Amino acid sequence: MSARLTHPSITPAGRPVRFCYDGQPVEGLEGETIAAALAAGGIKAMRRTRSGQRRGLYCGMGACFDCLVTVDGRASQRACLTKVADAQQVRSTQPAGTAEDPLQPLVPEADAEPVQWQVDVLVVGAGPAGLSAALAARRAGAEVLLLDERLESGGQFYKPLATSHRAATPTDRQFAQGLALEREVRGAGVTIVQGAQVWAAFSPREVAALIDGRARVIRCRQLVIAPGAYERPVPFPGWTLPGVMTTGAAQTLARAYRVAPGRRVVIAGNGPLNLQLAAELLADGTEVVAVLESAACPSWHQWRPLLAAAYTAPDLLRDGWRFLRQLRTHAVPVLWGHTVVAAEGRADGPGGLRSVQVARIDAQGHA
Ligand code: FES
Protein backbone atom coordinates (compact mmCIF):
# COMPACT_ATOMS: atom_id res chain seq x y z
CA MET A 1 0.00 0.00 0.00
CA SER A 2 1.39 3.40 -0.98
CA ALA A 3 2.03 5.85 1.84
CA ARG A 4 2.19 8.92 -0.39
CA LEU A 5 0.46 11.96 1.08
CA THR A 6 -1.86 14.19 -0.87
CA HIS A 7 -2.41 17.93 -0.51
CA PRO A 8 -4.66 20.21 -2.60
CA SER A 9 -1.80 22.51 -3.61
CA ILE A 10 1.14 20.06 -3.75
CA THR A 11 1.53 17.79 -6.77
CA PRO A 12 4.18 15.25 -7.81
CA ALA A 13 6.67 16.84 -10.21
CA GLY A 14 9.30 14.10 -10.61
CA ARG A 15 9.19 11.57 -13.43
CA PRO A 16 8.20 8.08 -12.21
CA VAL A 17 11.25 5.80 -11.96
CA ARG A 18 11.53 2.09 -11.28
CA PHE A 19 14.41 0.55 -9.35
CA CYS A 20 15.17 -2.79 -7.73
CA TYR A 21 15.46 -3.34 -3.97
CA ASP A 22 16.70 -6.77 -2.94
CA GLY A 23 15.40 -8.13 -6.24
CA GLN A 24 11.92 -6.57 -5.93
CA PRO A 25 10.76 -3.75 -8.25
CA VAL A 26 9.96 -0.48 -6.44
CA GLU A 27 8.39 2.68 -7.89
CA GLY A 28 9.89 6.07 -7.05
CA LEU A 29 9.76 9.67 -8.15
CA GLU A 30 12.76 11.44 -9.64
CA GLY A 31 14.05 13.95 -7.08
CA GLU A 32 13.32 11.85 -3.99
CA THR A 33 15.69 9.69 -1.97
CA ILE A 34 15.86 5.91 -1.96
CA ALA A 35 14.61 6.00 1.66
CA ALA A 36 11.57 8.08 0.69
CA ALA A 37 10.72 5.78 -2.23
CA LEU A 38 11.07 2.68 -0.02
CA ALA A 39 8.89 4.25 2.68
CA ALA A 40 6.28 5.17 0.04
CA GLY A 41 6.24 1.49 -0.94
CA GLY A 42 5.76 0.45 2.70
CA ILE A 43 9.34 -0.91 3.02
CA LYS A 44 10.93 -0.13 6.41
CA ALA A 45 13.95 -2.45 6.69
CA MET A 46 17.29 -1.34 5.27
CA ARG A 47 20.76 -2.34 6.45
CA ARG A 48 21.53 -5.67 8.13
CA THR A 49 23.75 -5.89 11.18
CA ARG A 50 26.32 -8.70 11.51
CA SER A 51 23.84 -10.65 13.64
CA GLY A 52 21.23 -10.35 10.87
CA GLN A 53 19.04 -7.76 12.57
CA ARG A 54 17.50 -5.09 10.38
CA ARG A 55 17.77 -1.35 10.77
CA GLY A 56 15.64 1.31 9.10
CA LEU A 57 15.44 5.02 8.48
CA TYR A 58 16.34 6.61 11.80
CA CYS A 59 17.76 10.16 11.65
CA GLY A 60 16.77 10.89 8.04
CA MET A 61 19.64 13.37 7.75
CA GLY A 62 22.80 11.41 7.13
CA ALA A 63 24.01 11.28 10.74
CA CYS A 64 23.26 7.77 12.07
CA PHE A 65 24.20 5.44 9.17
CA ASP A 66 21.32 3.05 9.93
CA CYS A 67 19.97 3.34 6.38
CA LEU A 68 23.12 2.10 4.63
CA VAL A 69 22.46 0.21 1.39
CA THR A 70 24.50 -0.89 -1.61
CA VAL A 71 23.66 1.09 -4.74
CA ASP A 72 24.83 -0.26 -8.10
CA GLY A 73 27.70 -2.08 -6.39
CA ARG A 74 28.80 0.95 -4.32
CA ALA A 75 28.68 -0.13 -0.68
CA SER A 76 27.54 1.94 2.33
CA GLN A 77 25.40 4.56 0.60
CA ARG A 78 23.00 6.42 2.86
CA ALA A 79 19.50 5.79 1.54
CA CYS A 80 18.26 8.98 3.21
CA LEU A 81 20.61 11.14 1.11
CA THR A 82 20.93 9.17 -2.14
CA LYS A 83 18.54 9.98 -4.98
CA VAL A 84 16.60 7.26 -6.74
CA ALA A 85 17.28 6.63 -10.41
CA ASP A 86 15.79 4.44 -13.10
CA ALA A 87 17.12 0.86 -13.17
CA GLN A 88 19.16 1.37 -9.98
CA GLN A 89 20.09 -1.86 -8.21
CA VAL A 90 19.71 -1.31 -4.46
CA ARG A 91 20.27 -3.99 -1.87
CA SER A 92 20.39 -4.26 1.87
CA THR A 93 23.55 -6.39 1.95
CA GLN A 94 27.16 -5.38 1.40
CA PRO A 95 28.87 -6.67 -1.77
CA ALA A 96 31.23 -9.57 -1.16
CA GLY A 97 34.09 -7.94 -3.10
CA THR A 98 34.52 -11.03 -5.29
CA ALA A 99 34.64 -11.38 -9.09
CA GLU A 100 30.96 -12.41 -9.09
CA ASP A 101 29.97 -9.68 -6.65
CA PRO A 102 32.44 -6.81 -7.16
CA LEU A 103 32.74 -3.63 -5.13
CA GLN A 104 32.61 -0.46 -7.23
CA PRO A 105 35.10 2.32 -6.37
CA LEU A 106 33.54 5.51 -4.93
CA VAL A 107 35.82 7.76 -6.95
CA PRO A 108 36.21 6.86 -10.64
CA GLU A 109 39.89 6.13 -11.40
CA ALA A 110 40.15 8.79 -14.13
CA ASP A 111 39.20 11.40 -11.49
CA ALA A 112 41.32 10.03 -8.68
CA GLU A 113 43.37 13.27 -8.54
CA PRO A 114 41.27 15.82 -6.59
CA VAL A 115 40.20 19.00 -8.35
CA GLN A 116 41.31 22.16 -6.53
CA TRP A 117 39.06 25.19 -6.02
CA GLN A 118 39.98 28.58 -4.61
CA VAL A 119 37.43 30.96 -3.01
CA ASP A 120 37.39 33.85 -0.54
CA VAL A 121 34.83 32.33 1.81
CA LEU A 122 33.74 28.72 2.09
CA VAL A 123 30.53 28.08 4.03
CA VAL A 124 29.67 24.49 5.01
CA GLY A 125 25.96 23.87 5.59
CA ALA A 126 23.01 25.53 3.84
CA GLY A 127 20.54 25.76 6.71
CA PRO A 128 19.32 29.15 7.94
CA ALA A 129 22.69 30.00 9.55
CA GLY A 130 24.84 28.95 6.57
CA LEU A 131 22.59 30.71 4.06
CA SER A 132 22.62 33.90 6.15
CA ALA A 133 26.42 33.79 6.62
CA ALA A 134 26.95 33.25 2.89
CA LEU A 135 24.65 36.15 2.07
CA ALA A 136 26.43 38.50 4.48
CA ALA A 137 29.87 37.55 3.11
CA ARG A 138 28.73 37.96 -0.49
CA ARG A 139 27.20 41.36 0.27
CA ALA A 140 30.56 42.38 1.74
CA GLY A 141 32.13 41.64 -1.65
CA ALA A 142 33.59 38.16 -1.12
CA GLU A 143 33.46 35.31 -3.58
CA VAL A 144 31.46 32.68 -1.67
CA LEU A 145 31.07 28.94 -2.11
CA LEU A 146 28.35 27.22 -0.06
CA LEU A 147 28.52 23.42 0.27
CA ASP A 148 25.62 21.38 1.59
CA GLU A 149 25.25 17.64 2.05
CA ARG A 150 21.52 17.50 1.47
CA LEU A 151 19.76 17.50 -1.89
CA GLU A 152 18.18 20.94 -1.28
CA SER A 153 19.15 24.03 0.72
CA GLY A 154 17.22 24.96 3.84
CA GLY A 155 18.47 22.45 6.39
CA GLN A 156 16.41 20.86 9.11
CA PHE A 157 14.55 24.06 9.96
CA TYR A 158 13.14 25.12 6.57
CA LYS A 159 12.99 21.50 5.31
CA PRO A 160 12.02 22.48 1.75
CA LEU A 161 9.90 20.43 -0.60
CA ALA A 162 12.06 18.02 -2.64
CA THR A 163 12.14 18.43 -6.42
CA SER A 164 9.98 15.29 -6.63
CA HIS A 165 7.06 17.61 -5.81
CA ARG A 166 5.95 21.13 -6.54
CA ALA A 167 3.65 23.51 -4.64
CA ALA A 168 1.50 26.11 -6.38
CA THR A 169 2.30 28.43 -3.45
CA PRO A 170 4.35 27.79 -0.29
CA THR A 171 2.00 25.96 2.07
CA ASP A 172 3.32 27.52 5.29
CA ARG A 173 5.48 30.31 6.70
CA GLN A 174 8.58 28.09 7.08
CA PHE A 175 8.50 27.03 3.42
CA ALA A 176 8.00 30.65 2.31
CA GLN A 177 10.85 32.00 4.46
CA GLY A 178 13.25 29.28 3.31
CA LEU A 179 12.49 29.84 -0.36
CA ALA A 180 12.85 33.61 0.00
CA LEU A 181 16.24 33.30 1.76
CA GLU A 182 17.61 30.83 -0.78
CA ARG A 183 16.45 33.03 -3.66
CA GLU A 184 18.19 36.01 -2.07
CA VAL A 185 21.42 34.04 -1.60
CA ARG A 186 21.47 32.76 -5.19
CA GLY A 187 20.48 36.21 -6.50
CA ALA A 188 23.41 37.76 -4.64
CA GLY A 189 25.80 35.49 -6.56
CA VAL A 190 26.70 32.81 -3.99
CA THR A 191 27.63 29.48 -5.60
CA ILE A 192 25.62 26.72 -3.87
CA VAL A 193 26.61 23.08 -4.36
CA GLN A 194 24.18 20.47 -3.01
CA GLY A 195 25.08 16.82 -2.38
CA ALA A 196 28.56 17.85 -1.24
CA GLN A 197 30.05 15.80 1.58
CA VAL A 198 32.76 17.70 3.44
CA TRP A 199 34.92 15.07 5.09
CA ALA A 200 38.09 16.85 6.22
CA ALA A 201 39.57 20.22 7.10
CA PHE A 202 43.36 19.89 6.84
CA SER A 203 43.56 23.47 8.13
CA PRO A 204 41.05 26.34 8.42
CA ARG A 205 42.04 27.21 4.84
CA GLU A 206 42.01 23.81 3.18
CA VAL A 207 38.93 21.61 3.10
CA ALA A 208 38.27 18.31 1.32
CA ALA A 209 34.86 17.34 -0.06
CA LEU A 210 33.26 14.61 -2.13
CA ILE A 211 30.96 16.03 -4.79
CA ASP A 212 29.13 13.76 -7.27
CA GLY A 213 31.54 10.98 -6.31
CA ARG A 214 34.57 13.14 -7.15
CA ALA A 215 37.22 14.44 -4.77
CA ARG A 216 37.63 18.22 -4.41
CA VAL A 217 40.03 20.29 -2.33
CA ILE A 218 38.83 23.81 -1.58
CA ARG A 219 41.25 26.51 -0.47
CA CYS A 220 39.63 29.50 1.20
CA ARG A 221 40.60 32.66 3.06
CA GLN A 222 37.78 32.21 5.57
CA LEU A 223 35.89 29.10 6.57
CA VAL A 224 32.40 29.22 8.13
CA ILE A 225 31.08 25.94 9.53
CA ALA A 226 27.30 25.85 9.95
CA PRO A 227 26.45 22.14 10.12
CA GLY A 228 23.27 22.68 12.13
CA ALA A 229 22.02 20.46 14.91
CA TYR A 230 20.75 16.96 15.19
CA GLU A 231 18.37 15.45 17.69
CA ARG A 232 19.49 13.74 20.88
CA PRO A 233 17.69 10.43 20.78
CA VAL A 234 17.05 8.51 23.99
CA PRO A 235 17.76 4.76 23.71
CA PHE A 236 15.16 2.31 25.06
CA PRO A 237 14.57 -1.41 24.40
CA GLY A 238 13.59 -1.76 20.75
CA TRP A 239 14.74 1.71 19.68
CA THR A 240 16.61 0.26 16.67
CA LEU A 241 13.56 -1.50 15.17
CA PRO A 242 12.75 -0.41 11.63
CA GLY A 243 9.80 1.97 12.01
CA VAL A 244 11.24 3.78 15.06
CA MET A 245 12.69 7.10 13.86
CA THR A 246 13.45 10.59 15.08
CA THR A 247 10.88 13.35 14.81
CA GLY A 248 13.18 15.03 12.28
CA ALA A 249 13.23 11.94 10.05
CA ALA A 250 9.45 11.59 10.18
CA GLN A 251 9.04 15.27 9.37
CA THR A 252 11.50 15.06 6.46
CA LEU A 253 9.51 12.18 4.98
CA ALA A 254 6.22 14.03 5.35
CA ARG A 255 7.24 17.62 4.56
CA ALA A 256 10.00 17.20 2.00
CA TYR A 257 8.99 13.98 0.26
CA ARG A 258 5.24 13.81 0.94
CA VAL A 259 5.42 10.29 2.37
CA ALA A 260 3.76 9.17 5.63
CA PRO A 261 6.25 7.74 8.15
CA GLY A 262 3.69 5.00 8.96
CA ARG A 263 -0.01 4.21 8.96
CA ARG A 264 -0.47 4.74 12.72
CA VAL A 265 2.05 7.05 14.38
CA VAL A 266 2.99 7.67 18.03
CA ILE A 267 5.10 10.80 18.57
CA ALA A 268 7.20 11.08 21.72
CA GLY A 269 9.86 13.46 22.98
CA ASN A 270 10.25 16.99 24.13
CA GLY A 271 9.61 20.31 22.46
CA PRO A 272 7.40 22.08 19.95
CA LEU A 273 8.64 20.14 16.88
CA ASN A 274 6.67 17.10 18.06
CA LEU A 275 3.44 19.09 18.18
CA GLN A 276 4.17 20.58 14.75
CA LEU A 277 4.82 17.13 13.27
CA ALA A 278 1.59 15.77 14.79
CA ALA A 279 -0.42 18.67 13.36
CA GLU A 280 1.20 18.28 9.93
CA LEU A 281 0.54 14.53 9.82
CA LEU A 282 -3.09 15.05 10.86
CA ALA A 283 -3.56 17.68 8.17
CA ASP A 284 -2.24 15.16 5.63
CA GLY A 285 -4.64 12.45 6.79
CA THR A 286 -2.21 10.25 8.78
CA GLU A 287 -3.53 8.67 11.97
CA VAL A 288 -1.70 10.03 15.03
CA VAL A 289 -2.40 7.66 17.93
CA ALA A 290 -0.96 9.88 20.68
CA VAL A 291 1.62 12.56 21.42
CA LEU A 292 3.81 11.94 24.50
CA GLU A 293 5.51 15.06 25.83
CA SER A 294 8.13 14.42 28.48
CA ALA A 295 7.68 17.87 30.05
CA ALA A 296 4.89 18.51 32.54
CA CYS A 297 1.74 20.27 31.32
CA PRO A 298 2.29 24.07 31.32
CA SER A 299 0.21 25.84 33.95
CA TRP A 300 -0.46 29.44 34.95
CA HIS A 301 1.87 28.89 37.91
CA GLN A 302 4.64 29.23 35.33
CA TRP A 303 3.49 32.71 34.40
CA ARG A 304 7.01 34.14 34.46
CA PRO A 305 8.53 31.91 31.72
CA LEU A 306 5.24 32.09 29.78
CA LEU A 307 5.37 35.88 29.90
CA ALA A 308 9.02 35.81 28.79
CA ALA A 309 8.11 33.47 25.91
CA ALA A 310 5.20 35.72 24.89
CA TYR A 311 7.64 38.63 24.76
CA THR A 312 10.64 36.95 23.06
CA ALA A 313 8.95 34.35 20.82
CA PRO A 314 5.26 35.19 20.37
CA ASP A 315 5.10 33.31 17.03
CA LEU A 316 6.36 30.12 18.65
CA LEU A 317 3.81 30.39 21.44
CA ARG A 318 0.99 31.09 18.97
CA ASP A 319 2.00 28.10 16.84
CA GLY A 320 2.08 25.89 19.94
CA TRP A 321 -1.49 26.81 20.90
CA ARG A 322 -2.61 26.30 17.29
CA PHE A 323 -1.06 22.81 17.13
CA LEU A 324 -2.63 21.84 20.47
CA ARG A 325 -6.03 23.04 19.25
CA GLN A 326 -5.67 20.93 16.10
CA LEU A 327 -4.81 17.86 18.17
CA ARG A 328 -7.83 18.44 20.40
CA THR A 329 -10.11 18.84 17.34
CA HIS A 330 -8.92 15.44 16.08
CA ALA A 331 -9.25 13.89 19.58
CA VAL A 332 -5.53 13.01 19.68
CA PRO A 333 -4.46 12.48 23.31
CA VAL A 334 -1.50 14.60 24.43
CA LEU A 335 0.08 12.85 27.41
CA TRP A 336 2.19 15.37 29.32
CA GLY A 337 4.93 13.97 31.53
CA HIS A 338 4.99 10.66 29.61
CA THR A 339 7.56 8.86 27.50
CA VAL A 340 8.12 5.66 25.50
CA VAL A 341 9.92 3.00 27.55
CA ALA A 342 10.00 0.15 24.99
CA ALA A 343 9.22 -0.63 21.38
CA GLU A 344 8.21 -4.13 20.29
CA GLY A 345 8.32 -5.87 16.95
CA ARG A 346 10.51 -8.04 14.70
CA ALA A 347 14.12 -6.96 14.16
CA ASP A 348 15.00 -9.94 11.97
CA GLY A 349 12.41 -9.47 9.25
CA PRO A 350 10.79 -6.76 7.17
CA GLY A 351 7.93 -6.16 9.67
CA GLY A 352 9.70 -3.91 12.17
CA LEU A 353 7.84 -1.97 14.85
CA ARG A 354 4.47 -3.30 16.08
CA SER A 355 3.74 -1.50 19.37
CA VAL A 356 5.20 0.77 22.05
CA GLN A 357 5.00 0.79 25.84
CA VAL A 358 4.61 4.16 27.53
CA ALA A 359 5.03 5.30 31.13
CA ARG A 360 4.58 8.39 33.26
CA ILE A 361 7.75 10.25 34.26
CA ASP A 362 8.01 10.65 38.05
CA ALA A 363 9.18 13.67 40.01
CA GLN A 364 12.78 12.38 39.85
CA GLY A 365 12.63 12.27 36.04
CA HIS A 366 12.39 8.45 35.87
CA ALA A 367 9.85 6.53 33.80
S1 FES B 1 21.98 8.28 8.02
FE2 FES B 1 20.19 7.78 6.92
S3 FES B 1 18.72 7.48 8.47
FE4 FES B 1 20.45 8.14 9.57
* Residue-wise pLDDT tens digits, 128-157: 999 999 999 999 999 999 999 999 999 999
Asked which of 7-11, 45-49, 189-193, 212-216 is least confident by mean pLDDT, the reply is 212-216
Judge whether 109-225 and 263-360 match in fold. yes
Percent of the chain with pLDDT over 70: 97
Atom of ligand 1 nearest to the CA of 80: 2
Higher pLDDT: 295 or 352? It is 295
Q: How far is the CA of 331 from the centre of ligand 1 (A)?
A: 32
Residue 352 pLDDT class (50, 70, 90 cuts): confident
- Decide whether any atom of ligand 1 lies within 6 Å of the 246 Cβ: no
- Decide whether any atom of ligand 1 lies within 6 Å of the 161 Cβ: no
Q: Check whether 93 has a pLDDT greater than 90.
A: no
Residue 99 pLDDT class (50, 70, 90 cuts): confident
Calculate mean pLDDT across residues 17-24: 97
Which pLDDT does position 115 carry in this prediction? 82
Q: How far is the CA of 78 from the centre of ligand 1 (A)?
A: 6
Which pLDDT does position 349 carry in this prediction? 67
Q: Check whether 1 has a pLDDT greater than 60.
A: no
Q: Where are the domains of the chain?
A: 10-91, 109-225, 263-360
Cα 260–60–348 angle (5° rounding)? Answer: 80
Q: How far is the CA of 311 from the centre of ligand 1 (A)?
A: 37
Q: Check whether 333 has a pLDDT greater than 90.
A: yes
Calculate mean pLDDT across residues 14-28: 97
| Residue 38, strand partner residues | none
Percent of the chain with pLDDT over 90: 74
| Residue 211, strand partner residues | 196, 214
- Decide whether any atom of ligand 1 lies within 6 Å of the 233 Cβ: no
Residue 111 pLDDT class (50, 70, 90 cuts): low
Which pLDDT does position 109 carry in this prediction? 57
Q: How far is the CA of 280 from the centre of ligand 1 (A)?
A: 22
Q: Which fold has domain 109-225?
A: FAD/NAD(P)-binding domain (3.50.50)
Calculate mean pLDDT across residues 13-22: 97
CB distance 30 to 15 below 8 Å:
yes
- Decide whether any atom of ligand 1 lies within 6 Å of the 138 Cβ: no
| CATH superfamily, with its number, for domain 263-360 | FAD/NAD(P)-binding domain (3.50.50.60)
Q: Is the Cα torsion angle 3, 5, 6, 11 positive or negative in sign?
A: negative
Which pLDDT does position 141 carry in this prediction? 98
The per-residue pLDDT of the chain, averaged, comes to 92
Residue 279 pLDDT class (50, 70, 90 cuts): very high
| Calpha distance 203→199 (Å, rounded) | 12
Higher pLDDT: 229 or 224? It is 224
Which pLDDT does position 143 carry in this prediction? 98
Higher pLDDT: 175 or 102? It is 175
Atom of ligand 1 nearest to the CA of 81: 2
Longest dimension (CA), the chain: 70
- Decide whether any atom of ligand 1 lies within 6 Å of the 63 Cβ: yes
Q: How far apart are the first and last CA of the chain?
A: 36
Q: How far is the CA of 58 from the centre of ligand 1 (A)?
A: 6
| Residue 224, strand partner residues | 123
- Decide whether any atom of ligand 1 lies within 6 Å of the 29 Cβ: no
Q: Check whether 205 has a pLDDT greater than 90.
A: yes
**Most confident among 2-6, 26-30, 208-212 (mean pLDDT):** 26-30
Sequence-distant (6+) residues with CB within 8 A of 283 are: 326
Residue 110 pLDDT class (50, 70, 90 cuts): low
Calculate mean pLDDT across residues 183-210: 96
Q: Dihedral angle at the C-alpha atoms of 58, 60, 64, 67, nearest 10 degrees?
A: 70
Which pLDDT does position 231 carry in this prediction? 87
Q: What CATH number has the domain spanning 10-91?
A: 3.10.20.440
Which pLDDT does position 104 carry in this prediction? 79
Sequence-distant (6+) residues with CB within 8 A of 4 are: 12, 40, 258, 259, 260
| Calpha distance 87→270 (Å, rounded) | 41
Calculate mean pLDDT across residues 3-21: 94
- Residue with CA at minimum distance from ligand 1 atom 1: 62
